Structure 1
Amino acid sequence: MSPLARRIHATLPQTQCTRCGWPDCAGYAEAIVRGEADINQCPPGGAEGIERLACITGRPALPLDTQRGTEAPRTVAVIDEAWCIGCTLCLKACPTDAILGGNKHMHTVIEPWCTGCELCVPVCPVDCIELVNASGARTGWNAWTPEQADTALRRYSARQQRLARTAREHEERLEDKARAKLADLPTATHGAEGAEADRKRAVIEAALARARARREARG
C-alpha cells in the first residue's frame, strides 16, 4: 500500500461494510489513489469523512453518494436468540468476528466488536437479526470514535490472517493426500492398467503444480 493509500485508509472508519463498492476499507483507499473511486462513497464516514478525505487527497468535497447509503446513526446487530437456528452464516459474514456461536447452537453478538456493517442481515435465513440504533442522533464520525475504528481494524486484520492460515493449512492437507496417492501409484505397469496409472499421475502432478503456482503468486 502506498503512503497516500495508508493515510486514506487510516482516515476511514474501518466498518468493512463494503458499501463503498470495494471488499474492505483498504481496497477503497487504494481505489481512491488509483482514481477508480470518489471520496464520497463511505456512508459510515458521512460528511465529516468526506471532508477528511478531501484534505488528504486535495480533491473537492462532494455530497455523499446516496446510492451507497445515507449518513445515519451507528447501529449494532442484535440476534433474536429464540429464532436463531445456528446456521453459522452470519459468523462467516461478520468482518470482525463479532458474532459468537456454533453450528446448531444459538448465536449472540458481542456488541463492542460490532461495526454495524449490516453484512450479517441478508445472509440470515430466518430473518432473526435486527440493527438497532447505538448512537442516538449522532451520525458519521460523531457516532464513531478513532478507538472503535482501531478495534475494528485490528479484529478485521486478525480475521483475515486466520482465514488465510486456515486456507493454507487446508491446501497443505490436500497436497499431502495428493502426494500420498502419487506415491501409491504403480510405476512399471504396462497395458491399460499402466495407461490409467499414468493418467492419474499426470492429473495429480498437474494439481500439485497449480498449488505451487498459487503459493508463489501469494508471495
Structure 2
Amino acid sequence: MTTLYYILIAIALLALIFGVVLGIASVKLKVEADPIVEKIDALLPQSQCGQCGYPGCKPYAEAIANGDVITKCVPGGQPLVVKIADLLGVDVPATDFTEDPTPKVAFIDENMCIGCTKCIQACPVDAIIGTNRAMHTIIPDLCTGCELCVAPCPTDCISMIKTQKTIDNWDWKFDPKLVIPVVDTTSAQKKIIVGEK
C-alpha cells in the first residue's frame, strides 16, 4: 500500500515539474504577433470563405502585411479596400468590384429545397440549419454573404438578397465637426461637446 502512495507522490511531483517547465517555456518562448496583422484581421469580415485565395482571413491579413494586394476580399468589397488602404497609409487602388456594395445574405426558397445538405457543408460560418432530406434555412445574422453556398445547390434554391437597414446595422456616421450643446437641468451650467478642431 505504501508503494502506491510513493507512486502517486512521484507522479504528482513529475506533473508539477513539467507544469513549471511548460509555464516558463511559454513565457520565454512567446512569439509576439505583428500588430498590423491583427488590425487588418480585425477589419476583414471573418467569413473564412477562401475567395481571396487564402484559407481564411488571418492568412490573408498576414499576406497583406507582407505586400499582397488589398483588393481580393469579395465579401468586404470596396468599403473594405478603402479601410485597409487608410490603415496602411496607401492610395486606394482601382478595383473590379462592379456590383452594388450593399451587403447581401443568402436566402433559401424552402419550397425547392430537397435537403441535400450541400449548402451546409459549404457554409464556412454555420449560418445554415437543416438536416438530411429536410428543409434548410439561413440564419441571416450569421450569414456573411460569401456566396459559397449558392454554387453547390443542385436545385438553385439559394439566392442572395440585399439586407434591409435596421437600427442594428445602420451606419451611424458621426460628423467630427459637430457641436452639440448639452444642458444639465440639475445645475445652471451649460456644457458643449465639440468634435475635432
Could you state the TM-score of these two structures normalised by the residue count of structure 1? 0.55
> How many angstroms apart in 1 are the aligned matches of 2:171 and 2:124?
17
Counterpart of 1:29, as a letter, is: A
- Gapped regions of structure 2 (runs ≥ 5): 1-32, 173-197
Conservation of the 8 A alpha-carbon contact between 1:79 and 1:107: yes
**8 A Cα contact 1:20 1:42, kept in partner:** yes
Shift of 1:143: 7.3
Alignment gaps of 5+ in structure 1 = 137-141, 146-219
Instruction: List, as ranges, runs of 4+ consecutive aligned residues in structure 1 with deviation greater than 4 Å.
Output: 142-145
Which of 94, 116, 124 matches 1:87?
116
User: Is the Cα–Cα contact under 8 Å of residues 79 and 130 in structure 1 kept in the other structure?
Assistant: yes
The answer to whether the Cα contact below 8 Å between 2:117 and 2:131 also exists between their aligned partners in 1 is yes
**Aligned partners of 1:144 and 1:129: how far apart in 2?**
27
Where is the strand percentage greater, Structure 1 or Structure 2? 2
User: SS state of the match for residue 39, structure 2?
Assistant: helix
Residue equivalent to 1:31: 63
Amino acid corresponding to residue 10 of structure 1 in structure 2: A
Q: Distance in 2 between matches of 1:70 and 1:31?
A: 25
Distance change (3 Å), C-alpha of 1:89 and 1:32: same
Q: Which has the higher helix share?
A: 1
Shift of 1:86: 1.0
User: TM-score normalized by structure 2?
Assistant: 0.61
Q: Could you tell me how far apart the structure 2 residues matched to 1:9 and 1:71 are?
A: 24
The structure whose Rg is larger is 2
Q: Structure 1: which amino acid aligns with 2:73? A: C
Secondary structure (helix, strand or coil) at the match of 2:131 reads: coil
CA RMSD of aligned residues (A): 2.4
- Identity across aligned pairs (percent)? 46
Aligned length: 137
Secondary structure, aligned partner of 2:37: helix
CA distance in 2 between partners of 1:19 and 1:108 (Å)? 23
